[in-house]
Amino acid sequence: MISQLFFSLIAIALLALLVVQGRRRRIWSFLLLAACGFLMYELLLSFREDAFSSFVYQWGGFQNLQFSLHLSGTPEIDKILLSLLGSAVGLVYLNSVYWGENHKLTVNTAVLLNVAAFILLLCSKDFVQLMVGSSCLAILGFYLIPDMESKRKFIFYGFLSEMALFTALAVVYEVIPSMNLQDMEQFSTIGRHKDLVALLILLCVFCQAGMLGFQNHILDLQTLTFNRIMIFCLTSLPLSSLVIFTKLRPLLVASQYTEPVLSIWLAAAAAWCLVAMLLTDSLKAAAIYLNLLFYAFSLAFLGVCPDGLDRVINFFPAALLLNILLMMVNNAASNELYVSRLGGLARHIRFTFVLSLAGVAAFIGSFLNVPAVAEKIAFIYLAVVLTGLSSIMSRVFLGKANADDKVMALLKNPSPLYWLPLIGVFVWLGWEYPFWRNKMFYAFFGAFILLLLIAPFRFCGRWSDDEDVQEADWFNDLYQIVILAPLRLLGRVLWVLVDFIVIERSIIGTVAQTSDFLVSGLQKLQGSVRQSYLLMIALGLAVLLLNMGYEYYE
Amino acid sequence: MNSPLALLSLIVALPLFGVFFALTSKDDADKPGRNAFNVCVFTLLANIVLIWRIFMILDEESGSLQLIERFRWLANPEINIMFGVDTFSLLLILAVHLSVLAGLAGVRRNIVKQKSLMVFTLLFLSMATGFFVAADIFSFYIFFEAMLIPLFMIVGIFGEVKKQGTVYRFFLYNFLGAIILFSAVMLIYHMHGSVTLEEIAGLKWTRRLDVYIWGAVFLAFLSRIPVWPFHFWISSVCAGLRNPLAFIVTALLPLTGIYGFIRFLPEPVPFPLNVFVDWISIIGIVTMLFIALIGFINKDSQYKIFSYITVYYILYLLGAFSGDEMVLLNIGFSLFSFMLIFSSLETLLTHILRKEEQEDIRSSGFLCKTKRLSFACSYLTIAAVGMPLSAIFINNFFILSKLLASNVKMGMVLIFSLVMVGCTLLQELFRLKTDNPACRADRNDDISFPVFAFFIFIMFILLMSFINPLWFVIDE
């Protein structure tokens, strides 16, 4: 079924690309949604019937360069795909109904191709397919971003992550030497450069997931519409980081540094995201920080539950939910993006407020059903997310009204096209995770309500107008100062010093001057003065005599 | 295996026939050089068909030279011209032809000395093909030097910026290389007579001769490769040229140096060669880093392409030093894609630069208004940096893994250089794609549909080469 799904997604996407310039794009968009729904239904059927297909195609190579395309299903893979395809169907639906998206068909096509690339990545059994899947997600992301500056940063980070992965796997291949992912276990026993490989893989994962220090390309997505942010964060490159982290785990655990680096980095990323969420004034930025937090949680979760990728992907609808809630607030408030220009909305759009609370409840419930070993991580994640979210929601719904008359006049609850499916998602989450039976749910939800009412971090709102804080890009500045500026300086020095002074002036100049000197000397000898010719003849004779004398001596 | 119909001689001779037809072609008053251009294109296409045919009859699995052709040149001293080919060399010949074809797409509208350009290009093509099919040391040497004549003329005529200095440097380095190789060839002939390329690696000399001959051979080949300080002549030639075909032909020259190393170097590398190899590896790595850094800061697009070419050529050189058959095969496949990519990119970039100069428009933001160019440039750049859109992706993986195995620290510097040149190309792409109100380019400045179709064909070849490097070979 997976191979059928993969090729169907590509075929549908290609078909959509053919009609993308044509008319009735909205109808095509819904047809695409229907096709996705059908594929998901088929996948569900095969999953229920335990019909796991096997597909291996020897696609490439020459002599001993043979690679295969693996698209075989396992219960775990099918489960993961089911969750992801569910999220993708949700995103396609959202694109189709979202008024702010002008290129519905293009974006929906990108979603389908992203899922296809993810299948490639997830089913990979060798290094090549793994790298191809990851690179495909990077290339597709490149076409999803319309803004050039964001595109530039994205592709640089994508390129960096791909090169890190490429290098790590090249080192591994040189040691084991096998392309097969199953043979990686050997690396921990016979492997050299274990730390280097682990650090390169972590670099790749952090770049893709946008962890602390490597988040610039993700933060730049603020220029995108909400739906694109969601598509990007939940079906594009960051998703690849989770698969790579899981698949290359044997290489990561081979190094003693992996665990401390991972723990410190993820904790720092979570702390930084929390502070940023408290300080930010933009709803889009808040949505992005929530997604980054989700990835930090996912990596931490996978760190303690190595086989937990299916569970992590199962959390995707919940992570998507928070994004949708923020998007709904933004839509309800006439597309107002800044928290400081809203406030007191609970009185005017009560339904949206209630819907948001229900959404938060469903979100909390989704993360309580985790294995005991990951409970601590889930609780920390929930605590951080709820603290940040409560601060934003408190200012938006309960805080002092700062919205202008136009915004207040146009406040409206979302249309049923949004909230009906949303309620469906709540019901599904409630059915999937019966959280009302869990005491912790009441504790977290109660704490959230309390934080919403007390708003202990409302003082952070004083920085909402501070451009230095809101537009601070310390890491970018740091890269410019610490990495780029020295490299540019070094390049210039080498260019001027070595190319011009050493080679042009010294070597070529010396050769030119020497040949000039020889030519001028010969010109003098070849002049009209007879003595010069006599001198030359005498010199020639002397050489001849010397040579003869030497031969006689020998 | 002997060659039916003397196919190898035919692919060397066909461009020479083309030279004759190009020289005698009539010049139209309104389109000067158009007929010569057509002759050149048709000759190239005919040769490509012949090369394809040779691929069909070649045993891909065999590592030795096949389709041997031998011609007596001189009886006393006995000097023969001997041709032979294997998958590696034939792949390079095909790549050279396709690269030149890409360059021709960029000079379609050229009217300045078009006939001369076509004649010298065909001459170069013939000599380059002769070089890659040369199977003995004399044939090798003759074609190694003969290809410099048309190249010298091309650089001299189309070297545009700082012409005199460029030609001087070109002459200086290549002349020295030629003399040095000549002395080595004479010594080899003196000791062992006319030997085939496959025998060279097994020849034995005294220690002193070993040092001298191998030193001379190494220096001669290095003079063609942009390794410090030999990089300077190629950089000054490449940075000065505004003619894509001249640039491509010049940038193909380092390939001959690398090919020379691959053909000459014994495996395993004996003493004292390994000392040379170690030193060249170190100098090569330093050059890579050095050129990558300069390319990163340099604002000239041509220099950026040059830095990309240099870093990759040195990567292939270092891979060639490993002597591993698997790595050599990967180098061949990777080189094929690499040459197609850089020649196509150069042609497209020159189109932009020329428009910038002719119509006084800013090139920054040029790709925002020109969809065909934008697509082609994006694809080729992404493929160039090593994403899975061409054979570079997989083949470089093997080459790098081998280099990392020999020295991980040097390998990391090498990868850093690759990242730097990758960033340099991406930086240039985004400069051209970033919307700039000052850029007055419009749809009319885009490449024409036939040229676009040609580049789509090149992209198709690249993509197919990723799936199977020899996808076009249909076994008989």
Determine contact: A170 vs chain B, CB below 8 A. yes
Closest partner residue to A171 among B172, B297, B404, by Cβ?
B404
Determine contact: A57 vs chain B, CB below 8 A. no
Which chain B residues are Cβ-neighbours of A487 within 8 angstroms?
Answer: 293, 296-297, 420
Cβ A159–B169 below 8 Å, yes or no? no
Which chain B residues are Cβ-neighbours of A166 within 8 angstroms?
Answer: 386, 397, 400
CA–CA distance, B80 with B194 (Å, rounded to integer)? 8
Determine contact: A132 vs chain B, CB below 8 A. yes
Site from B170, B232, B425, B468 to mutate, A interface, most A CB atoms within 10 angstroms: B232
Look at phi and psi of residue B33 and say left if phi exceeds 0, alpha if psi is from -120 to 50, else beta.
left
More confident residue, A53 or B431: B431
Cβ B293–A491 below 8 Å, yes or no? yes
Which chain B residues are Cβ-neighbours of A507 within 8 angstroms?
Answer: 229
How distant is the alpha carbon of residue A334 from its chain centre? 30
Query: What percent of chain B stands above pLDDT 90?
Result: 22
Closest to A313 in 3D by CA, of A88, A549, A508, A45: A88
Which chain A residues are Cβ-neighbours of B172 within 8 angstroms?
Answer: 508, 511
ipTM given for this complex: 0.85
Determine contact: B415 vs chain A, CB below 8 A. yes
How distant is the alpha carbon of residue A179 from its chain centre? 24
| B40 pLDDT tier (thresholds 50, 70, 90) | very high
Cβ A159–B467 below 8 Å, yes or no? no
| Summary count for chain B: helices (H), strands (E) | 19, 2
Cβ A160–B394 below 8 Å, yes or no? no
C-alpha distance from A167 to closest chain B C-alpha (Å): 8
* B3 pLDDT more than 60: no
Q: By CA distance, what is B434's nearest residue in A?
A: A148
Determine contact: A62 vs chain B, CB below 8 A. yes
CA–CA distance, A362 with A428 (Å, rounded to integer)? 9
Closest partner residue to A59 among B229, B430, B467, by Cβ?
B467
Cβ B402–A502 below 8 Å, yes or no? no
Closest partner residue to B402 among A142, A174, A502, by Cβ?
A174
Indicate the domain borders of chain B: 297-476
Tens-digit pLDDT profile for residues B364-390: 788 888 888 989 999 999 999 888 888
CA–CA distance, B14 with B122 (Å, rounded to integer)? 9
Average pLDDT of the residues of chain B: 84
H or E segment to which residue B469 belongs: none
Task: Please give the pLDDT value at position B49.
Answer: 93
Closest partner residue to A139 among B295, B387, B420, by Cβ?
B387
Task: Name the residue type at position B114.
Answer: Q
| Summary count for chain A: helices (H), strands (E) | 26, 2
Closest partner residue to B415 among A132, A155, A163, by Cβ?
A163
Residue spans of chain A under pLDDT 50: none
SS3 B66: strand
Task: Name the residue type at position B111.
Answer: I
Determine contact: A126 vs chain B, CB below 8 A. no
Determine contact: B296 vs chain A, CB below 8 A. yes
Determine contact: A463 vs chain B, CB below 8 A. no
* B161 pLDDT more than 60: no
SS3 A280: coil
Tens-digit pLDDT profile for residues B178-235: 888 888 888 888 888 777 777 777 777 777 787 888 888 888 888 888 887 776 667 7
Task: Please give the pLDDT value at position A145.
Answer: 81
First-last CA distance in chain A = 89
Task: Please give the pLDDT value at position B345.
Answer: 92
Cβ A62–B468 below 8 Å, yes or no? yes
C-alpha distance from B172 to closest chain A C-alpha (Å): 9
Determine contact: B471 vs chain A, CB below 8 A. no
Site from B167, B415, B431 to mutate, A interface, most A CB atoms within 10 angstroms: B415
Task: Count other Cβ atoms within 10 Å, centred on residue B182.
Answer: 15
CA–CA distance, A509 with A525 (Å, rounded to integer)? 24
Task: Count other Cβ atoms within 10 Å, centred on residue B448.
Answer: 12
Task: Please give the pLDDT value at position A479.
Answer: 80
Task: Please give the pLDDT value at position B163.
Answer: 61
* B14 pLDDT more than 90: yes
∠ Cα A321 A327 A332 (to 5°): 125
Cβ A511–B172 below 8 Å, yes or no? yes
More confident residue, B469 or B363: B469
Q: Enumerate the β-bridge partners of residue A57.
A: A69
The pair phi, psi for residue A126, each rounded to 5°, is -135, 170
How many interchain CB pairs under 8 A, A with B? 131
E-strand spans in A450-540? none
